[in-house]
Structure 1
């Protein structure tokens, strides 16, 4: 299981804002994180919509964290761009995907996948940007 490039970039952007401690414009964020300006803006829109980052318009505009860094868990940033953290499609239960099932109709591996996903999610939510 890999974290996508978009999630990696989102973590870089939030971490940069946390370390900087003040408002930064998108161009400065892009330069500081090595993320293209276009991709930075796409990610910032998602972070703003989730309430992780606050945006300001105008000549003194830019972006800053909407909460203290120690209140922002790594898992929330990742889930903002990735969606729910799961390790298997059968864990989501949305019915879109088929998986191997036993006679009772329950996936043989669903419970193990769900437990592993919970461990990963719990660990990612235990790490905050203010640490």
Structure 2
């Protein structure tokens, strides 16, 4: 699993949005975070598409959390921002689907699967509220 700037920017934006009482627009957020407006807009649109944010149009438009911060898991946020599952390694799939076809290589699969389960559990248990309060 590779966390990119998309995940980082998504989390930073969500922290700001969660602390505000009114919709936050892309222009304001991109200025406050000193990041590309167009890149941030794509991230926020992905978060809205995945039910993490609500989008409002118009002069007082912008983005608000679609759910309370305590109900937004880090896993949901990352998967929405990255537009893919949070896989540790490409081969963290069931042994029957081992892509290499080599028994020696697939012997590490149980270790990778165990690691994947621990990471999934951690990401599912950590919420936006936990991050804000840390």
Whole-angstrom CA distance in 1 between matches of 2:80 and 2:12? 14
SS at match of 1:22: coil
Q: Which runs of 4+ in 1 moved over 6 A?
A: none
Aligned to 1:119: 118
Show structure 1 runs of 5+ residues with no match: none
Q: Check conservation: 1:89, 1:97, Cα contact below 8 A.
A: no
Whole-angstrom CA distance in 2 between matches of 1:6 and 1:96? 29
Whole-angstrom CA distance in 2 between matches of 1:13 and 1:96? 37
Aligned to 2:69: 69
State the superposition RMSD in angstroms: 2.3
SS at match of 1:116: helix
Whole-angstrom CA distance in 1 between matches of 2:111 and 2:38? 39
Q: How does 1:1-131 map to 2 (within 5 A)?
A: 2-82=2-82, 83-92=84-93, 98-99=99-100, 101-102=102-103, 107-131=106-130
Show structure 2 runs of 5+ residues with no match: none
Q: How many residues align?
A: 128
Normalization by structure 2: what TM-score? Answer: 0.84
Q: Render the CA deviation track for 1:95-128: whole Å, top value 9, x for unaligned.
A: 998336217xx81111111110111121112111
